[in-house]
Amino acid sequence: MWEKTFQAIDEQYEHMVETRRYLHQYPEISFHEEKTAQFVCDTYERLGIPYKSEIGGNGVIARLEGGRPGKTVALRADFDALPIHEQNDVVYKSKNEGAMHACGHDGHTAALLGLAKALAPYQKEIPGTVVFLHQHAEEYAPGGAKPILESGELDDVDAVFGTHLWVNTPTGVIHTSKGAFMAGADRFEITIQGKGGHGAQPHQTKDAIVIASQLVDSLQQIVSRRIDPLKTAVLSIGTFESGHAFNIIADSAKLTGTVRTFDADVQQIIMSEMEKIIKGTCLSHGAEYDFNYDKGYPPVFNHKEEAEMILNRSHEADPSLKTEEVDPVMAGEDFSYYLLEKPGAFYFTGAQLPDHYYPHHHPKFDFDEKALPHAAKTLWQAYRSYQEHHQED
């Protein structure tokens, strides 16, 4: 049965590409994916696979109950886009102004829907229950994973697997790790309130730009001088907003940024040191401040046994695939919430376009569509590996 289903996935390649390109043309940003969710529901309606919609928001969960006993395993794909204006000149360019699938979620959805279509004719031969988990709002905290879990719709799930098409990895290569794989992702906002004035009379002002500039420099020293060098952390300033005219000293400034960590103790040290530096800097200039720190997604920690299934058996889905255990990356993912509740693993499916490399979240981002069946087949292989490992239970 397994060989037939893997062949059936390959036969869905053109359908996956067509689906991906349709979704790419009509992206919807996080928490606004109503039409995308309806597209997913319509697909399962045509396939005759039972589904539920509006799970935790715009999430969709479909279930294919196999005809043989086995475990219940969820396979996850996210489907939200980013608030980016696309700059690619392709026939499937986004038609929704200011929205773009600049991270590959259109491909994740196409791969999972293609897998569902390939498996439907073999329902009676499948062991266990396949849960097709289509998640909304991965890109923007608080995300879609947590409310989906809170809905109770995954309470009976025994394990969960997910993949991300990854343009930093060559097509045909699968990357993951046993343990820490992706960082926790927090965000912060700092507002400085000084005293503005004439550009020719700086002594009568409390220059918010000077104060904020000192903060940009000082905050960088937290990681280099306050964190154990054997620990991993990132603190990055993403935006600096201030000023209205060339000859006016600004009275206010706003900084926003992100902190990435794997260790809760390191996260706490960074939060505490930021507060001290901001307070001290503003006090020395006689300025006021407001500091908001939002804890985002927890780190993605793969379960060892399930990660080994990805590393050791993905080639059974397609002999051309190679697997490599890699160091963790500092990007974040709310798949972490699933792994706090269920055994499972998350991995990268290589999708690099050699002649068109732009990173994730770039307005010219694109990926190699040949990776779509790789994603579908490795998810199905993970399902197979888990079923066979637990068939004696």
- Using H for helix, E for strand and C for coil, what is the string for the chain? CHHHHHHHHHCCHHHHHHHHHHHHHCCCECCCCHHHHHHHHHHHHHHCCCEEEEECCCEEEEEEECCEEEEEEEEEEECCEECCCCCCCCCCCCCCCCCECCCCHHHHHHHHHHHHHHHHHHHHHCEEEEEEEEECCCCCCCCCHHHHHHCCCCCCCCEEEEEEEECCCCCCEEEECCCEEECEEEEEEEEEECECEECCCHHHCECHHHHHHHHHHHHHHHHHHHCCCCCCEEEEEEEEEECCCCCEECCEEEEEEEEEECCHHHHHHHHHHHHHHHHHHHHHHCCEEEEEEEEEECCEECCHHHHHHHHHHHHHCCCCCEEEECCCECCCCCHHHHHHHCCEEEEEEECCCCCCCCCCCCCCCCCCCCHHHHHHHHHHHHHHHHHHHCCCC
C-alpha dist (Å) from residue 66 to 112, 116, 229: 17, 12, 50
For residue 215, give its domain range. Answer: 184-297
Q: Is 164 annotated as a binding residue?
A: yes
Q: Report the CATH number at residue 158.
A: 3.40.630.10
Q: Are residue 218 and residue 346 in the same domain, yes or no?
A: no
Q: Is 41 annotated as a binding residue?
A: no
Residue 391 is predicted with a pLDDT of 87
Query: Binning pLDDT at 50, 70 and 90, where does residue 54 land?
Result: very high
Q: Report the CATH number at residue 249.
A: 3.30.70.360
Q: Are residue 175 and residue 210 in the same domain, yes or no?
A: no
Residue 217 is predicted with a pLDDT of 97
Q: Are residue 132 and residue 42 in the same domain, yes or no?
A: yes
pLDDT at 342 over 60: yes
Q: Are residue 49 and residue 151 in the same domain, yes or no?
A: yes
Q: Which of 274, 297, 320 is where one domain is finished?
A: 297
CB-CB neighbours of 160 under 10 Å: 28
- Residues belonging to the chain: 393
The C-alpha atoms of residue 111 and residue 108 are separated, in whole angstroms, by 5
Q: Which two tokens stand for residue 75?
A: 């396979």
Question: What's the structural domain count of the chain?
Answer: 2
pLDDT at 262 over 80: yes
pLDDT at 327 over 90: yes
Q: Are residue 25 and residue 153 in the same domain, yes or no?
A: yes
Residue in 28, 33, 86, 138 annotated catalytic: 138
What's the pTM?
0.95
Q: Summarize the confidence of residues 353-374 as an average pLDDT.
A: 96
Residue with tokens 């928490």: 31
Crossing angle (nearest 10°) for helices 105-119 and 34-47: 10
Q: Which two tokens stand for residue 343?
A: 């055994």
pLDDT at 393 over 60: no
Sign, Cα dihedral of 28, 33, 36, 40 = positive
Q: Are residue 233 and residue 308 in the same domain, yes or no?
A: no
Residue in 78, 80, 273, 333 annotated catalytic: 80
Of 71-75, 255-259, 352-356, the least confident = 352-356
Q: Which of 297, 312, 343 is where one domain is finished?
A: 297
The C-alpha atoms of residue 371 and residue 207 are separated, in whole angstroms, by 52
Q: Is 57 left (phi over 0), alpha (psi -120 to 50) or beta?
A: left
Q: Which two tokens stand for residue 162?
A: 């997910």
Task: Give yes or no: 316 in active site.
Answer: no
Residue with tokens 């104060």: 211
Q: Are residue 155 and residue 211 in the same domain, yes or no?
A: no
Task: Give yes or no: 80 in active site.
Answer: yes
pLDDT at 392 over 80: no
* Per-residue model confidence as pLDDT tens digits over 92-141: 999 999 999 999 999 999 999 999 999 999 999 999 999 999 999 999 99
Contact 95, 28 (CB under 8 A): no
Q: Which of 260, 278, 297 is where one domain is finished?
A: 297
Q: Are residue 306 and residue 292 in the same domain, yes or no?
A: no
The C-alpha atoms of residue 329 and residue 160 are separated, in whole angstroms, by 20
C-alpha dist (Å) from residue 67 to 45, 64, 72, 78, 122: 20, 10, 13, 28, 9
Q: Are residue 36 and residue 107 in the same domain, yes or no?
A: yes
Residue 390 is predicted with a pLDDT of 95
Q: Are residue 206 and residue 227 in the same domain, yes or no?
A: yes
Q: Are residue 172 and residue 219 in the same domain, yes or no?
A: no
pLDDT at 350 over 90: yes
Q: Is 105 annotated as a binding residue?
A: yes
Q: Are residue 45 and residue 133 in the same domain, yes or no?
A: yes
Q: Summarize the confidence of residues 16-33 as an average pLDDT.
A: 98
